[in-house]
Amino acid sequence: MIVETGLLKSGFRLKGALATTAWRPTGQFGTKSPPVATIVLIRLLAMTGPLGNAEILKDLGLKNRTRLSERYIDPALADGLVERTISDKPTSRLQQYWLTQ
């Protein structure tokens, strides 16, 4: 309410026994960088070429296929950094991933 009326942009105000604190949102700086997991996957694919799930798990020292998908492959696919080799069958056992051109 205080911010909406413009009475207090940010800071602290004490009036009797009532204290009011209002904060201005901070702006976002810089550009969005991909998560570290995505960078790791990109570097692995750049060094080796197309890889399947089992090979990526082995090379990264991971054991959980679901986590591989959630933390590494899905974000890279969403950002357009990685493509599936069999794009029309995302759950194929022969599926591999490679870097986009």
pLDDT at 62: 92
CA–CA distances in Å: residue 73 to residues 8, 15, 38: 46, 54, 7
Q: Is the pTM of this model over 0.85?
A: no
pLDDT in tens, 20-61: 666 666 666 666 666 788 888 988 999 899 999 999 999 999
Q: What are phi and psi of 24, to 5 degrees?
A: -85, 140
Report percent pLDDT > 90 for the chain: 50
Residue 80: which of 30, 34, 20, 46 has the closest Cα? 34
pLDDT at 8: 46
The three-state secondary structure class of 40 is: helix
Which structural domains are found in the chain, ordered by start?
A: 36-99 (1.10.10)
Tell me: pLDDT of 6 over 60: no
More confident position, 85 or 39: 85
